[in-house]
């Protein structure tokens, strides 16, 4: 079984462009989480999604950021009009359909976003 796949591995954007980060969860997993990691900081929760539903987006900035997890296809984290402060590593994680709090999360290798 493939693990959580994130692409691209590295993404370079100029200020004002859009960034799209993709995450394919472990096969059969229906829960996806996105986290952001800044240098010298820990992992900050951004959003928790189930298929076609946003469960908790309390960590998402109010503007420019959006996330989706459609019925078919990968989860997408979208950042519009990127600014230098968006430069970070973005990690996706997935968990099984039971979604219980005792389930561990499986993490992807992350997408490193660099904004020039």
Nearer Cβ to other proteins, position 17 or 112?
Answer: 112
Q: Tell how strand 111-115 and strand 10-13 pair up.
A: parallel
- Write down the least CB distance from residue 63 to other proteins, Å: 22
Nearer Cβ to other proteins, position 48 or 69?
Answer: 48
Contacts to other proteins by CB under 8 A? 4, 31, 33, 35, 41-45, 48, 55-56, 58, 91, 93, 99-102, 104-110
Phi, psi of 38 (to 5 degrees): -100, 155
91: Cβ contacts below 8 Å, ≥ 6 apart? 6, 34, 35, 36, 37, 43, 107, 108, 110
Residues 9 and 30: their CA atoms lie apart, in Å, by 22
- Write down the least CB distance from residue 24 to other proteins, Å: 13
- Write down the least CB distance from residue 16 to other proteins, Å: 28
Nearer Cβ to other proteins, position 9 or 15?
Answer: 9
């Amino acid at each position: 079984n493939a693990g959580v796949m994130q692409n691209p591995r590295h993404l370079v954007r100029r200020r004002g462009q859009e960034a799209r980060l993709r995450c394919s969860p472990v096969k059969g997993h229906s829960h996806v989480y996105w986290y952001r990691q800044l240098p010298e900081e820990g992992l900050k929760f951004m959003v928790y999604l189930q298929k076609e539903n946003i469960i908790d987006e309390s960590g998402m900035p109010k503007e420019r950021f959006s996330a989706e997890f459609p019925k078919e296809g990968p989860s997408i984290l979208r950042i519009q009009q990127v600014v230098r402060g968006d430069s970070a590593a973005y990690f996706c994680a997935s968990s099984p359909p039971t979604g219980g709090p005792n389930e561990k999360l499986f993490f992807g290798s992350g997408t490193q976003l660099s904004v020039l």
